Structure 1
Amino acid sequence: MGSGATDDDLITVAKMADQLGYDTFFTGESWGRDALTILTAVACHTTNLRVGTGILPVFSRTPALIAQSIASLDLISNGRATLGLGTSGKIVIEDWHGLPFQRPLERTREYIDIIRQALSGGPVNHQGNFFQLSRFRMGVAPVQERIPIYLASLGPKNLELTGQLADGWLPIWMHHQRLPELTEPIAIAAAEAGRDISQITVAPQTMCYTTEDPEELEEVQGQVRAHMAYYIAGMGTYYYDLFCRSGFRTEADAVREAWAARERDTAAQAISDQMLEGIAILGDAATCRSRLERLRKSGADMPVVAFPHGSSVDGVKRTLEALAPALDPSKPPAGAGS
């Protein structure tokens, strides 16, 4: 929904998602609100809706603090917490958090190991390349025996790590046709680790918005184009590479060129209709339901209904109602993202 959403707006949306039968409310963080404070408020105003970080950047906190925080959220929510982790990007980590963006994959693996140890209730002993911990035992126990850990992975090595260690996969900007292709290395890594892909929830975060108004649809498409352009050109190379691998190198190069020239509108206009149609779910209710079903058939266990930055609260509520899993109990559960 973006930084313009008020706390009351977020609570209203979360309560509605809870009533409509959505599975999990995810929220991330960049340089605005922190995710855990929002999720604590959501947990206090909902009953069944799980609350998930989507995602916490591993560079932003120590693994011990993340374990303490997610255990506390699990207690407050009575066992409804999900921990989504990711690396964020070089620009955010170095220019906002002031930390060197170094060895993100190795760091993520180390974080998962420490967090799992801490949440187990036993003494934490870890001698790694980033952290050396010994003898401490976390002084708070979560409600869940195993809090799910999701990873927002995109690159080949991170996908492999997801298969080895994660309970869920939380990608963004995922073209529906690429989902099976990127799920395959997760499945292979899971099998090599003695696991099965069925143990890993595939939960792509997808920009969704329903409207019957052509003018509103055009405005929302512009918002999503601008958001995509920012990720391609303003968030390092991860997302640029993702769009190139998805068959959109021409558009991605045009976005970067315009962005470098500080021509933001031109960068957004370089996002093609084909990109929007394959990656986002925008349009009237019937179109959006059909595209959500297409995403499920591509392998999404729990598609996460996210919203374009700048979306109105009324538009978000309308979209939640149109795509609500409660309207069709035969479909897999969906998540909602702020």
Structure 2
Amino acid sequence: MISSDCHPSAANGLIPSIFVRRNNFRLTAILMSMSTESQTPMGITYGSLGVLGASAVPEIAQAAVTSGYQSFWTVEATGTDAISLLGAVSQAAPELDLATGVMPIQLRSPSLTAMTAATLQSLNPQCTVWMGLGVSAPGVLQQHGIESPDRPIAMMREYVALTRECLSGESVTFEGDFWQVKRFRLAMRPTEKTPKIVVAALNPQMLKLAGEVSDAVLLNYIPANHVPEAVKHIRSGGDAIVMSNVHAAVADFDEAARPARKDLFNYAMADGYAKMFRAAGFEDEIQELRLRQKEKDREGALAAITEQMIQAINFIGNEQEVTAFTQSYLKAGVQYPILMPMPWGENRKLVTQLTLDAMAAINR
């Protein structure tokens, strides 16, 4: 059993505290390097790259640079893998920082993640590599033939600690509760920059851990009015940078509402997200949705997702409204917004571009 403040390692049974908590001045320097007094760092992520196709990524990345984005984020579940796409981005748009948002820690060992992060960093030594890590939902893990962890907090703590050790370039022998390595050494030349660790978190315990052990915390599907509560838990653990996905579409509400409801339904059926939605004030919606779904009433379950819930999480509006929606996250405490344009409507490409431009307007 690993205690809350120490971990097994090669030399003396404990991982040095530097691998567990980042220094305040270092994180401040990271954030300052990403922005100026008048500019907010922004990232872009797509949940639909499997639909758009991997071959579209270079063009999308170049458009992100033109629109003023700083980083390109990829996800990993059962479609496109996160890393191959970032390799393409590194060549098509070397101005962009490279980020995973997120990779399930159950699918990759910490040593492989360290190798992956170091490889991405070597492809573009001047960029910042953000390795976003998360505990995947049971439905995704089942498709990979993997059981859900019964100790996700302990698993994440150990994963981050071992990944940092493997990135150090030193010989690492590690005997943990979840992973073991024996005399692992990263066989790559060190780069000036070291990849950063991002932990995805929804609920209090993981938020606190993420604040303690990571360089940044990634929030997802969280209403802006619930961000201060999340930040409170993050700060109880440490001073990690607060990042958040911002879901929006410049589209007609009547046209986009149904796909928005379907999207929220899928997440509301995952226990971790349902818990967060309830805490954010949508207890009635989740209760009704799950009751209708239990009765096999899919249309009733979708109807349980109110307009208020849609507009708090998957916002639909015009360009000015999407800009204001993005700004609401900054006012709530998000330091680094990551736009997820929701391509809802007859002309998906147009909706996506209008949404990208609307969010980028926060820096104009």
Q: 1:279/1:75 Cα in 2 relative to 1: closer, same or farther (>3 Å)?
A: same
> In the alignment, does 2:122 pair up with 1:88?
no
C-alpha contact 2:246 2:326 (8 A) present in aligned 1: no
Q: Tell me whether 1:185 sits opposite 2:219 in the alignment.
A: no
The residue correspondences of 1:68-83 to structure 2 (distance < 5 A) are: 68-80=115-127, 81-83=129-131
**Distance of aligned partners of 1:171 and 1:294 in 2 relative to their CA distance in 1, 3 Å threshold:** same
TM-score (norm 2): 0.81
| Pair 1:315 & 2:351 matched | yes
Aligned to 1:23: 70
Instruction: State the alpha-carbon separation in 2 of the partners of residues 307 and 326 from structure 1.
Output: 15
Alpha-carbon distance between aligned partners in 1 of 2:260 and 2:277, rounded to the nearest angstrom: 15
Q: For 1:40 and 1:265, how far apart are their aligned partners in 2?
A: 41
Equivalence map 1:28-43=2 (5 Å): 28-43=75-90
What is the aligned partner in structure 2 of residue 333 from structure 1? none
Counterparts of 1:286 and 1:325 in 2: how far apart (Å)?
A: 9
Q: Percent identity?
A: 27
Higher-RCO chain (CA-CA 8 Å, sequence separation at least 6): 1
**2:241 maps to 1:201:** yes
Structure 1 stretches of 4+ moved >4 Å: none
2:13 corresponds in structure 1 to none
In 2, Cα distance between equivalents of 1:309 and 1:96: 26
The one-letter amino acid of 1:313's match is K
1:142/1:264 Cα in 2 relative to 1: closer, same or farther (>3 Å)?
farther
Q: Is the 8 A contact 1:79 1:142 kept in 2?
A: no
SS where residue 133 of structure 2 aligns?
Answer: strand
When normalised by structure 1's length, the TM-score is 0.87
Q: Describe the shift of the 1:5–1:262 C-alpha distance in structure 2 as closer, same or farther (beyond 3 A).
A: farther
Instruction: Report SS of the residue matched to 2:284.
Output: helix
How many residue pairs end up in the alignment? 313
- State the distance in 1 between where 2:342 and 2:289 align: 19
Structure 2's unaligned 5+ residue stretches are 1-46
2:185 counterpart residue number: 137
Correspondences of 1:117-196 after superposition (within 5 Å) = 117-141=165-189, 143-190=191-238
Q: Deviations over 1:286-338 (max 9, x none)?
A: 1111111111100111111102265612211121122215852xxxxxxxxxx
User: Is the CA contact 1:21–1:326 (under 8 Å) kept in the aligned structure 2?
Assistant: no
Other structure's SS at 1:17 match: helix
**CA displacement at 1:142 relative to structure 2:** 5.2
CA-atom RMSD, angstroms?
1.8
The one-letter code of the counterpart of 1:34 is D
Unaligned runs of 5+ in 1: 191-196, 329-338
Query: What amino acid is aligned across from residue 122 of structure 1 in structure 2?
Result: E
Please say if 1:302 is aligned against 2:313: no
